[in-house]
Amino acid sequence: MIEVKNVTKKFGDFKAVDNISFKVESGEVFAFLGPNGAGKTTTIKMLTTLLRPTEGEIFLDGHNVIADPSATRRSFGIVFQDPSLDNELTAYENMQLHAVLYGVSKKDYLKRIPKLLELVELIDRKDAFVKNFSGGMKRRLEIARGLLHHPKVLFLDEPTIGLDPQTRNHMWNYIHNLNKEEKVTIFFTTHHMEEVERMAQKIAIIDNGKIIEYGTPEHIKKKGGSESLEDAFIALTGKQIRAEEGDMSKNLMRTAAKMMK
């Protein structure tokens, strides 16, 4: 379903992703793990056509992601790590806009939107403006929106940040069903190892832009020499705390890249 071949992404001299290759099979639940700043989000952005790799090839559902981004976009859905809602619209309007963008028929979205808003417990706030929502509510709305259409591959970039255990549980149940019943391939990142234990069939661990381990959860545990995935992860990636990922480091990288020019 997804094939990544020798992909590198440079920001100036900084290699955010360094010659990575891996495969995700159709119908698989795939966990993409790594410490902050390891290159997870950069990789997801390349897989979802938002960034162009400096080198390498990516195929998704048979489409060449770099050469044919628009065909690729028909095959996946994504829940971003950082917010992407329109604050000036209501929760329902955000859902509806997404449904139209993704070509979900009116018949389907009239049924699905209330169901999903119920799932994330926002149904009684459906006509409230998103700008008045708390961080957690926005997060829940993003998840509901990401589940609105049923793509071949669903990317979830740290979807459970800031969610309470109840919502996390609802969400993973829903995703589990989506995977089982509609054979949606799931590609997710997280820092919660119990979510990986519960969901993942395959794991890749990325660190400093390189894939350092790839395989089943059992394989990772064996490599890390531990019964718990958390300990194995720490054994493989070291105990050192990493620089914060996200916009700050991206901006630093971009500033550095601009200065190089």
Partner 1 sequence: MRTIYILWVRQLKRFTRKKASLVGALGQPVIFLFAFGFGLSPIYEKAGGGSYIQFIAPGIIAMTILFTSIFTGVEIIWDKQFGFLKETFVAPVSRIEIFLGKTLGGMTVAVIQGLLVFLITLIAGFRPQSFAMLPLAFGFLLLVAFLFSALGTTIAARLDDMQSFPLIINFIIQPLFYLSGALFPVHGLVKALDIITKINPLTYGVDGMRYALSGSNVFSPVLSASVLVGVSIITVGVGLYQFSKIEL
- Take residue 155 and report the two structure tokens written for it: 């990317």
Helix axes 135-146, 106-119, angle to 10 degrees: 140
Which is closer to partner 1, CB of 9 or CB of 170?
A: 9
Under a CB-based contact definition with an 8 Å cutoff, are residues 122 and 85 in contact? no
In angstroms, what is the minimal distance from the CB of 40 to partner 1? 16
In angstroms, what is the minimal distance from the CB of 250 to partner 1? 10
Q: Give the start-end residues of each E strand in the chain.
A: 2-11, 14-24, 29-33, 55-60, 63-64, 76-79, 153-157, 185-189, 202-207, 210-215
For residues 248, 253, 242 and 159, what is the CA-based torsion angle, rounded to 10 degrees? 60
Helix axes 229-237, 217-224, angle to 10 degrees: 60
Which is closer to partner 1, CB of 212 or CB of 257?
A: 257
Footprint of partner 1 (CB under 8 A): 45, 48-52, 70, 73-74, 76, 78, 80, 82-89, 93, 96-98, 100-103
Which is closer to partner 1, CB of 74 or CB of 222?
A: 74
Which is closer to partner 1, CB of 12 or CB of 215?
A: 12
Which is closer to partner 1, CB of 40 or CB of 221?
A: 40
Under a CB-based contact definition with an 8 Å cutoff, are residues 144 and 174 in contact? no
In angstroms, what is the minimal distance from the CB of 184 to partner 1? 16
In angstroms, what is the minimal distance from the CB of 159 to partner 1? 15
In angstroms, what is the minimal distance from the CB of 98 to partner 1? 7
In angstroms, what is the minimal distance from the CB of 216 to partner 1? 29
Strands 76-79 and 63-64: unpaired
In angstroms, what is the minimal distance from the CB of 109 to partner 1? 12
- Distance between CA atoms of residues 211 and 21, nearest Å: 8
Which is closer to partner 1, CB of 36 or CB of 84?
A: 84
- Distance between CA atoms of residues 8 and 18, nearest Å: 5
Under a CB-based contact definition with an 8 Å cutoff, are residues 51 and 39 in contact? no
Which is closer to partner 1, CB of 149 or CB of 221?
A: 149
Strands 55-60 and 63-64: antiparallel
- At 208, is the secondary structure helix, strand, or coil? coil
